[in-house]
Amino acid sequence: MNGAIRAGFIFGASLLVTTLVCNLPLAANQRKDACGELNALIRATYTFKPSRLSAAERDAKSKALDRVWNTAKSNPSELLPCLRTALQDPAADPWFRFDGVNLLVQLDPSPASKAMQVRYFTDVDLDDVDLRYWVQTLARLGAEGYDVSASAARWLTYPKAEYWLPEHGLYRVTRSNGALYLYGSMDESQATPALFKIVSNPDHPGREDALWILMNQATPEALRLLKKVDSRGFSSQAQRSLGALLTQPVLLRSRPGKPQVSREEYLMAFRAILRGDWSAFQVLVERVPDGEKDAVAVLKPEDLPPLRQVRRLRIAHANQHAIEYYNDFSAILMALTWKPELVK
């Protein structure tokens, strides 16, 4: 994790400790004392809301938070259970849960820890966190298979849902962008019903954002649900786009003549991406910039699940380039998925 972003703390402090000291196992009474000391430190430290602190207070609290992290890291084998118990205390402070669960995942990146991370990220006051870190962490978890729809729904109702990416030309991530990062990274079987629930609520402030994402799911299930949408209340542009999708959309067509990229090349690139290697796919993109025209010609129905997984992994990068790729993948998927019987 970037040391400049301390567990998503809005004012930042050093997250990483250069050395991790592992002590010998403690006796039962010593373990109890160690838990007591950690709990006392937690109670003394997490007594504030980051968004309400002055710059000087932020610096002081950053150092106090580092003491908690360093204490837990000094003997993780003994203190990890203490930390987990403290996080699960019904009376635990929401900010402690957010900050502490990041520490938990760093020490124990297990499915159970990550499931807790999703839950406590959902509950935290978004005024108190670095929104970029919050969205990017959840998008990564979504791509790993976790259901982050509750967090995504919170994002769509948050009045200040935007942030900037300085290293990407000071790109402004809008509410709709962030929603796409979150819902797009999730398995469609999780995202589609969550999106439809929002679309079906005429009073939801993120209703139109959810509709655009649902229209780009490019799954039979999403297309069937879109037939049930009452388009009243949406913008005229959204109504026209929905009407076109449900009647006769303009679908991506294959290039005339022989494809320049073969099915085998695509499948090899997809398999490499699922192993974490995008280089083969990037070679294809550079060789044939409009390769999506070949994808719709050569890919078969059984190739769509890995393509959907690739799309989820790409949007989890959570930047404007990820959106461009997501749109290209969605065009391929829609061309290979849309059938008149799905929308009648």
> What are 114-124's pLDDT values in tens digits?
999 999 999 99
Phi-psi region at 114: left, alpha or beta (left = phi > 0; alpha = psi -120 to 50): alpha
| pLDDT tens figures, 174-198 | 999 999 999 999 999 999 999 999 9
Angle between helices 28-45 and 76-87 (to 10 degrees): 50
Radius of gyration of the chain (CA): 23
Higher pLDDT, 325 or 169: 325
| pLDDT tens figures, 223-237 | 999 999 999 999 999
Tokens of 277: 């290697």
Higher pLDDT, 339 or 14: 339
Sign of CA dihedral 51, 116, 148, 153: negative
| pLDDT tens figures, 130-153 | 999 999 999 999 999 999 999 999
Closest CA to 12 of 58, 81, 80: 58
Quickly state the pLDDT bin for 1 (edges 50, 70, 90). very low
Instruction: Judge whether residue 12 has pLDDT over 70.
Output: no
DSSP state, 302?
G
Instruction: Judge whether residue 34 has pLDDT over 90.
Output: no
Please report the pLDDT score of residue 168 as a whole number: 85
Quickly state the pLDDT bin for 27 (edges 50, 70, 90). very low
What is the C-alpha to C-alpha distance for residues 238 and 248, in angstroms, rounded to an integer?
15
What is the C-alpha to C-alpha distance for residues 272 and 263, in angstroms, rounded to an integer?
14
Sign of CA dihedral 310, 315, 319, 322: positive
Are the C-beta atoms of residues 208 and 174 closer than 8 Å to each other?
A: no
Instruction: Judge whether residue 247 has pLDDT over 80.
Output: yes
